[in-house]
Amino acid sequence: MQFRRIEYARLEARQKENYNCMKLFGALADYGFVSMRLTDDSKGADLLALHVNGEILKIQLKPRLTVDKKYMNKAIWIAFREGEDWYLYDHDVVVEILLSSGRLAGTSSWDESDKYTFPHLSNSLRERLKLLKL
């Protein structure tokens, strides 16, 4: 068999999710985590990551920076990829950052739909989130 790299853009939605999950597992391994994918979206988590120190993270995998009221107060971490960079953040901490910066309150997405996503990171937002980059 001859191995050829795949074209991510040509993958179907579920294939992209699987691809991103495996890429995230590799990135987390570099930080001392062993990860396990959950077969159902259990209490908001797509996967669990166990650190060598015993700490467990419940992680929701997203295609972009996302906050959602349904994840609040559930100790959920969100992971997303931008280009080759991975970001991992405590959902509630980022909600507070975004609320304090005036980016959420007053928007129909947050106030009426209970969630807000960022298709791309602006330079200012990327700077604010740089400590969340793996």
- Residues contacting 50, CB < 8 A, separation 6+: 33, 34, 35, 36, 56
* pLDDT tens digit sequence for 78-118: 999 988 889 999 999 999 988 888 778 888 888 888 988 88
Amino acid at residue number 2: Q
Between 58 and 97, the more confident residue is: 58
Question: 59: how many CB neighbours lie within 10 A of its CB?
Answer: 25
67 exposure class (CB count in 10 Å sphere: 0-12, 13-18, 19+): buried
Domain CATH for 79: 3.40.1350
Q: Return the pLDDT at 107.
A: 84
Residue 79 lies in domain: 8-132
Residue 41 placed within a domain: yes
Residue 2 placed within a domain: no
Position 127 confidence tier, pLDDT thresholds 50, 70, 90: confident
Distances (CA, A) of 68 to 31, 41, 71, 126, 130: 26, 15, 6, 19, 21
Residue 1 placed within a domain: no
Reported pTM: 0.88
Number of domains in the chain: 1
